[in-house]
């Protein structure tokens, strides 16, 4: 599938409140991730998003899948997709696109996160482990989102223009404790990262 086709098939992506409405009462600690998570933390949506990403413990993916019986879930990895993937492919991959079979449109993207019981494990650096309640925050309306320090840690690897813009937008809203936490995680995962100097300057 070419990049243009992928982009076209994400044109009908859902918004966070649509997924949250369907997952009301879902017991596992799922959350909105990536750029949408920062929007939920900061309030407002300054740019369009190409998709909607959510995260769930890998062991709870089957339960999440059952909440959307009308959708197919295509595993994604190594530049290809596996339509309506079965257990073997799911075990070998971590990303899944929820697809409307009738239209072919993708609705949301699921990251199946590594974990040990109730402990979240960072897929980029397995030394970083946190109890799940420490990874998720909520909007006033109850939508769960990945805490901003973790969103920015994931964005730091590629540091594309949109990631730099997201960091610049979030930085003034990060208090001293959040800045120290993100700086510590960046030093461990990405020593010398370009964002460290900004995080270590008080009052920015």
The 10s digit of each residue's pLDDT in 80-122 is 899 988 899 999 999 999 999 999 999 999 999 999 999 999 9
Mean pLDDT by groups of 10 residues along the chain of 204 residues? 81 96 94 97 87 96 96 92 90 95 96 95 92 97 97 94 94 96 95 94 64
Task: Report the pLDDT value the prediction gives residue 6, as an integer from 0 to 100.
Answer: 80
Check: CB of residue 107 under 8 Å from CB of residue 99: yes
Residue ranges per structural domain of the chain:
3-146, 150-204
pTM over 0.85: yes
Sheet containing 119-121: give its strands across.
Answer: 115-116, 119-121, 129-131
pLDDT of residue 44: 85
With respect to CATH, is domain 3-146 assigned 3.30.460? yes
- Rounded CA separation 181/57 (Å): 23
How far lies 33's CA from each of 11, 36, 39, 201, in Å? 18, 6, 10, 27
């Amino acid at each position: 599938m070419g990049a243009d086709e992928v982009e076209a098939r994400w044109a009908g992506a859902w918004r966070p409140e649509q997924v949250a409405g369907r997952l009301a009462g879902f017991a596992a600690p799922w959350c909105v991730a990536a750029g949408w998570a920062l929007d939920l933390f900061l309030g407002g949506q300054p740019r369009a998003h190409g998709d909607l990403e959510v995260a769930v413990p890998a062991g709870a993916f089957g339960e999440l899948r059952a909440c959307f019986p009308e959708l197919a879930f295509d595993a994604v990895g190594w530049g290809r997709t596996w339509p309506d993937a079965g257990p073997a492919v799911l075990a070998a991959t971590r990303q899944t696109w929820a697809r409307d079979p009738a239209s072919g449109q993708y609705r949301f993207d699921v990251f199946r996160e590594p974990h040990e019981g109730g402990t979240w494990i960072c897929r980029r650096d397995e030394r970083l482990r946190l109890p799940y309640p420490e990874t998720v925050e909520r909007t006033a309306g109850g939508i769960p989102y990945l805490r901003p320090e973790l969103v920015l840690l994931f964005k730091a690897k590629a540091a594309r223009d949109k990631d730099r813009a997201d960091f610049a937008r979030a930085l003034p809203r990060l208090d001293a404790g959040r800045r120290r936490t993100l700086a510590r995680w960046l030093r461990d995962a990405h020593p010398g990262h370009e964002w460290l100097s900004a995080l270590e300057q008080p009052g920015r």
